[in-house]
Structure 1
Amino acid sequence: MDLFNSEIASNLLPFDGEVSYYGSIMSIEKAQDYYDKLLRNINWENDKAIIFGKLIITKRKVAWYGDQPFDYTYSKTTKSALPWNKELLELKEMVEQKTGETFNSCLLNLYHNGEEGMAWHSDGEKDLKKNGAIGSLSFGAERKFLFKHKVTKQNVAVHLEKGSLLVMKGVTQTHWLHRLPPTKKVKTPRINLTFRTIDLKSKDSNNS
């Protein structure tokens, strides 16, 4: 970690993990500009998941980008990363400068309105660097984001602003679940970028 260039944000979690919320890291105008460009320039497609042996197509749309055409498997489906575009590289550099972390991939989500959300889960897929940082950028509609401890069931909530950055790292995924709860109050879309690190050593060992 580059301690000289990174900024430090307080930990939202009381124990068993690290979640830092930096708030908005850009102007409202810049956040709106990126939202418009991401809506137009990302290769969005409906997400797929296999649940109880059935293929489910979600209303939510997703996209997967990276340094290489990484395969990434979650919800029993596999995606191959597309090459970065200009906006994603700019945002990746911005997040890396703020946090002192480095990332080689990004999973994007497009929620068309508040009725689309994400159920409780942890980002602990074997493709990801163990205990690695996940940098989450939010654009468009502001939404509530929740954490729940897997043992104590304690909840922590944060309101995600336009252009805001939230970072999960350390043992957060081991001990906490997170979700984006649906709400009928939000009528407009939200775009979320989650910058991640695919573990190349794990990939090499799995392919050898």
Structure 2
Amino acid sequence: MTLFPKDLQTFQLPDAELIYNPCFYDNTSALQIFNSLKEEILWQQDEITLFGKTHKQPRLTSLYATNSIPYSYSNITMRPHKMTQLLLKLLKDVESATNEKFTSILLNFYRHGKDSNGWHADNEKELGSSPTIASLSFGETRKFQFKHRNLKTEKHQLDLTSGSLLIMKPPMQQFWLHQIPKTQKEVGERINLTFRKIE
């Protein structure tokens, strides 16, 4: 099922609530933010081991935080950089919109359609049992797919546009998986920021 919101929308699904604002930032601001993030962020490409084989992750990543606590997922441990002025502004904007407090921002840089992020949940122990995860997107529109772990008919997707804000409320990370799939289409660069609380 494909969801097509035109403005601020709330989706009530089994074991999940999503809030999506496709126009959290206007087009001009979104482009400026994208260009600044592309140049300022300290991007890295970690290796990941799946089924006994080691590959480079199909995207670039970086971690920034207001504290020094590392974040681990898929046998990768990331140590945070100090927040930049731009990231602090984005953090303030997202906290104001969500009424949540976050400590860390995990950034993903999708360079083309072959860059992706496979099925997963943001359920690492550092995030607590019922985290709220907020996500900003800048650059090319990419599909965000999500499916329930147990209810096989509950499969959905959203087109995440530049300047959009997606909020995944608890207990979504406990019951749902999500991904940014590869695409054969010619697509440009996209930067995604996910806001988390790691203490």
Tell me the TM-score normalized by structure 2: 0.91
More displaced 10-residue stretch of structure 1: 37-46 or 130-139: 130-139
CA distance in 2, matches of 1:48, 1:38: 22
1:136: which partner in 2?
135
Instruction: Tell me which moved more, 70-79 or 37-46.
Output: 70-79
Q: 1:129 Cα deviation (Å)?
A: 2.6
The aligned amino acid for 2:162 is K
Which position in structure 2 is the counterpart of 1:204? none
1:34-183 alignment runs, 5 A limit: 34-153=33-152, 154-183=154-183
8 Å CA contact 2:120–2:177 kept in 1: the answer is yes
Q: Indicate if the aligned counterparts of 2:46 and 2:76 stay in contact, CA closer than 8 A.
A: no
Q: Deviations over 1:131-180 (max 9, x none)?
A: 12111000000011111011112211111111100011211011110011
Q: Which amino acid aligns with 2:115?
A: E
Report the CA distance between 1:53 and its aligned residue.
4.1
Aligned equivalent of 2:5: none
**SS of residue in 1 equivalent to 2:10:** coil
State the shift of 1:56 in Å.
2.4
Q: For structure 1, which runs of at least 5 residues remain unmatched after alignment? A: 1-8, 201-208
Match of 1:33 in 2: 32
Question: Counterpart of 1:21 in structure 2: which amino acid?
Answer: Y
Gaps of 5+ in 2: 1-7
Determine helix, strand or coil for the equivalent of 2:34: helix
Count of residues in correspondence between the two structures: 191
Letter in 2 for 1:88: L
Question: In structure 2, how many angstroms separate the alpha carbons of the residues matched to 1:58 and 1:110?
Answer: 11
Instruction: Quote how far apart the aligned CAs of 1:52 are.
Output: 3.0
Moved more, 168-177 or 181-190: 181-190
Instruction: Please say which of residues 132-141 and 16-25 is displaced more in the overlay.
Output: 16-25
TM-score (structure 1 length as normaliser): 0.87
CA distance in 2, matches of 1:141, 1:193: 14
- Tell me the SS of whatever aligns to 1:65: strand
Counterpart for residue 15 of structure 1 = 14
Shift of 1:197: 0.4
For 2:78 and 2:102, locate their aligned partners in 1 and report how far apart those are by CA, in whole Å. 18
Distance in 2 (CA, whole Å) between partners of 1:186 and 1:164 is: 21
Q: Is the 8 A contact 1:13 1:156 kept in 2?
A: no
Offset of residue 77 of structure 1 = 1.4
Identity of aligned residues (%): 38
In structure 1, give the amino acid aligned to 2:127: L
